[in-house]
Each structure stands twice: as C-alpha cells, then as structure tokens.
Amino acid sequence: MSAQHERLRMMLTAALFAAIIGIFAQITIPLPFVPITGQTLAVGLAATILGSRYGALSALLYMLVGAVGVPVFSGMSAGMSIIFGPTGGYIISFVLSAFFIGWYIEKTKATVPQAFSANLIGMVINLAFGTVWLKIFAELSWMEALAAGFLPFIIGGIIKAFLAAWIGIEVRKRLASARLLPQPTKNRTA
Amino acid sequence: MMEKMIFGRYLPLQSVVHRLDPRAKLLFIFGFVIVVFLANNALSYGLLAVFTLVFIYLSKINVRFLLAGLKPVIWLIAFTFLLHIFLTREGDLLFEAGFLKVYEGGVRQGAFISLRFLLLIFVTSLLTLTTSPISITDGLESLLKPFKKLKLPVHELALMMSISLRFIPTLMDETDKIMKAQMARGADFSSGPIKERVKAVVPLLIPLFVSAFKRAEELAVAMEARGYKGGEGRTKYRLLHWQGRDTAALIILVVLAALLWWTRS
C-alpha cells in the first residue's frame, strides 16, 4: 500500500471519528452524581486509537464541523458562538489534549495503565485550558473559575480517562489483529 | 434529530444577509469578535446593540431561533452577572441586606459583560442561521488558501470536514443499530450497578470504531479509483462570487470600529 493511500485512509478515519465524537457528545451515560458525557470520552478514545497526529486532526475536525453550524456540541448546540463563548476553551483544547494523549501513547508501549495516565494528563490539560478561558471570558477570579469549571468535572474525568484507556487499547488490539492498524505503536511514517 | 443534524441550524430564507458571500460573513464575524471588546461604556455598548439589532432585522431571522441559541450558555451568563453584582465593590452602595452589598460598579460591570456575551452569541449565531454548513466550509477553505504556502493542507481539511458532515447521519444510524443489537442480547444501558452499565458500553463502542476503520478504507479505495490524488489542480463544483455588497459589509464593520473607538472612554 502506498504512503499516499495510507495518508488518505487515516485522514478519512479521522473524519469519521470526528463524526463519532459529534454523535457521542449527545449521549450521556446516566450515572448517579457524575453523568458521563460522551464528548470527552470519544475525544480520548480517538486519541488513544489514532495517535497524536490523526487524533488531533479528528478533534480539530470536530471543532470545525461544530463551528460551521452542525449541532455536534453537547446539547445539540453549534456555531462559532460556542467556540468564541465562555465554554469554548474546552472544545479548543480538545485538539491539544488529543495530541498529547496520542503522543504519550506513541512514546510508550501502549498498555492500559500507560494509556490511562495519558488520558488523565489529557483531561487535566483540557480542564485547565477550559478553566483559564472561562476565567478570562467571564472575568471571574481564579477561585470562582476553578469552582465553576474544574472541580465539578474531576470525578467524571477520571472515570472517562479509565474508559478511554481500556476501550481504546482493546480497539487497537482488534484493529491490529484485523490488520487495519498498520504499524501498531510506532505510527510515524504516515 | 436526524434532520437537524444534516442541515445544522441553517434557515433558508431570502435576505441580504443570506445572500452575502460566506467569506464576507466569516471575515465580518472575526472582525466583530475583536470589535466587541472595544466597547467599555454605556454609549459604545448602546451603539453595538443597535448595530446588532439592525443586522438581525436585515437577516429576517425570527428572534425565537436566536434565543434558542442562548440556551447552552444562559446559566453561565446569569452566573457571571450575579458574581459581578455581589463581588465587585466599586462606586456607590445601592443596596444592602445583611452581608450582601450591591454596588453600582458591580451592576454596571455585570450588565456590560452579559451584554457582550449576548451580542457575540447573536452575531455569531446569525452566521450559522443564514449560511449552510457546506458554504461556510467552502468559505473557510477559500479564506485559508494563503496558509497552503505554510504546508497547511487546507483543501484536504475542508474535504474531511464535508465528509465528516456527510457521515454523521450514517454513523448515527449505525450507533443506533449496534445499540439495539446489543440490547437484544441483553445489554442494559440505563439500570443496574455502575460497573455493569459501564461494561455495557464496551460492546457498543468497539464495533463502532472498528467499522469506522473499515469504512475509511472503502472510501479511500473508492476515491482513488475515481482519480482522487490530493488537492493539486482540483476544480470546484460550487463557486463563490465576491460582490459589491460583500465589500460594503466589511466597510460597515470598519465604520463601526471607528465609531466605537471614538465613543469609548
């Protein structure tokens, strides 16, 4: 298979993953106290499965598709108003956290514990960036911003990081055995 | 839900705002997002509000749809407003009840920041309400063309966006199908202990992601069989036309910025 075909195939996969993130953003797994929204889970999964480059691409595509008006953000919302709004930092930093998660997993042996720590740090990046954005946009103090934008999401975030690591590594194994993921861990040539 | 996903929030009407080139609208919005931050007193905020109202009137969009766009952020606006009212200690004391003290500066600050949010949301919502997702994508691609020199794959990015768009309903169907298939096998997504519920999601996600890989492979083969080899030399089916009214829209924005600069304190 040529490098060009490989590149096109991975880009298309990232595009489809972006669509999946958009669908999952509408789904909430109803757990007591901490409902798990599918959005961050799907971003973590995309990064764990696709790696840094294409994981970040799928997060970027998700953001752009939402920006042009397809209701893929949580609660069927869409538009530049969400991105340039007070909660836009969370969506923008998905690109960063996806890149980091993918990069971390590429640097390690892609086991579940390693993917879990990658996703945990990714979650912290996401929440931190989102909180700083919220603080600046809403002109809040640091304590207020933390209380509104960081602390309530920690427990759900840990559960999601674990799920993304566990399911993501599982999917990678299946793809590798079906020869759909060409170079299982060192995906540097694409 | 499906229909809403495909067309986004676009409302096909006949108006000046609808007919504007998507590139003009995008530039206008990016400019507006910056210009809004120029306002800092009652006069400049009033000017911005009047300007936004005229814009809404010209678009012929029912205000109901604009208000619907507020839903996801309304609690946040209210929260910010209240924080500013109770925590900013500037100006004269207006009201006091026990430990609660409301100052004039707080009310003013809270009102201005909430108004800024509202205006930003209204104007940016107008873009997606008056322009279809596909034409915004075309506009973005065209505007980002200069970045091609920096090796940013602009054409491919736009193509992947439209593929993503196109496949949302298909993948939604598939998610639904897999969910029902697993429910028929006894999966329970909405009751039982937490651990069981989380476990029930696994057989839903794995086939979905694996099939996305398969579908991408098929798509890549189909595209290459039809001669797709990247953005070089590709022609467009939908063409954009820049017209006088597009230039006029941008001039109006510059005038607004100048007026705000003049009225701000």
What's the mean pLDDT in A25-37? 68
Element (H, E) at A37: strand A36-37
Mean pLDDT of B9-20: 86
Mean pLDDT of chain A: 85
Contact B125 A81 (CB under 8 A): yes
- Tell me the shortest Cα–Cα distance from B136 to chain A, in angstroms: 6
Average pLDDT over every residue of B73-80: 80
Cα atoms in the Cβ-side hemisphere of radius 13 Å centred on A103: 11
- Residue in A4, A11, A84 closest to B160 by CB: A11
Is the per-residue pLDDT at A190 higher than 50? no
Residue B122 burial class via C-beta count within 10 angstroms: exposed 0-12, middle 13-18, buried 19 and up:
buried
What is the complex's ipTM, to 2 decimals?
0.85
Evaluate whether residue A80 is within a structural domain: yes
User: Residue A187 falls within a domain, yes or no?
Assistant: no
List residues bridging with A18 in a β-sheet: none
- Give chain A's domain count: 1
**Domain CATH for A65:** 1.10.1760.20
B120 with A85: Cβ contact below 8 A: yes
Contact (CB<8Å) A180/B213: yes
Range of the domain at A98: 3-177
Distance (Å) from the alpha carbon of B81 to chain A's nearest alpha carbon: 9
Tokens of A90: 């969370």
Q: Has residue A189 been placed in a domain?
A: no
How do residues B141-161 score in pLDDT, each as one tens digit?
Answer: 899 888 888 888 888 899 999
Asked if the structure places residue A54 within a domain, the reply is yes
Residue A182 buriedness (CB in 10 A; 0-12 / 13-18 / 19+)? middle
Give the confidence band of B228 by pLDDT, cuts at 50, 70, 90: confident
- Note the pLDDT of residue B185: 87
Is residue A186 included in any domain, yes or no?
A: no
The answer to whether residue A183 is domain-embedded is no
Rounded Cα gap, residues B9 and B133, in angstroms: 9
Say if A34 falls within a structural domain: yes
Encode pLDDT of A55-108 as tens digits: 999 999 999 988 887 888 877 777 777 787 778 889 999 999 999 999 999 999
Instruction: Compare B41 and A17 and report the one with higher pLDDT.
Output: A17
Within-domain flag for A182? no
E strand or H helix that includes residue B95: strand B93-97
Q: Are strands A36-37 and B93-97 parallel, antiparallel or unpaired?
A: unpaired
How do residues B162-202 score in pLDDT, each as one tens digit? 899 889 888 988 988 998 898 898 877 777 777 777 777 78
Asked if A14's CB is within 8 angstroms of B157's CB, the reply is: no
Average pLDDT, chain B: 85
Q: What is the pLDDT of residues B15-73, one digit of tens each?
A: 989 999 999 999 998 898 888 888 888 899 999 999 999 999 999 988 888 887 777 67
